[in-house]
Amino acid sequence: MHNRQILIIDDDTRNILPDMDGYEGMIKLKKYGIRIPVIAVTAQAMAGDREKCMQAGASAYISKPVNIDSLTDLLNIYLK
């Protein structure tokens, strides 16, 4: 059995990590060489937000409210 890992990160983590948001977290993961798929979840569904997430290191992007079928599809892609 393979050990599959994936990280789902909300871009608004300030209530948990007051000094870092999700974008900064993804950049740090990449900086430290952590190479696991990252699905960015954001309420910021405006033009350019997807690109901002991808540039920060996300493997995929999904906006809130999260469509469970879309999230399941992404999980199936990255957990194969």
- pLDDT tens for each residue of 8-57: 887 665 556 677 888 888 898 889 998 899 999 887 667 788 888 899 99
Residue 1, domain member (yes or no): no
Check which CATH number belongs to the domain holding 61 and give it. 3.40.50.2300
> Which residue is associated with the tokens 């870092």?
20
Residue 73: band (very low, low, confident or very high) from pLDDT cuts 50, 70, 90: very high
| pLDDT confidence of residue 6 | 86
Residue 70, pLDDT > 90, answer yes
Q: What is the CA radius of gyration of the chain?
A: 13
Number of helices and strands (H, E) in the chain? 3, 3
Residue 2, domain member (yes or no): no
Tally of domains in the chain? 1
Residue 65, pLDDT > 80, answer yes
Query: Phi and psi (nearest 5°) for 49?
Result: -70, -40
CB 12 within 8 A of CB 43: yes
**Domain extent at residue 28:** 7-78
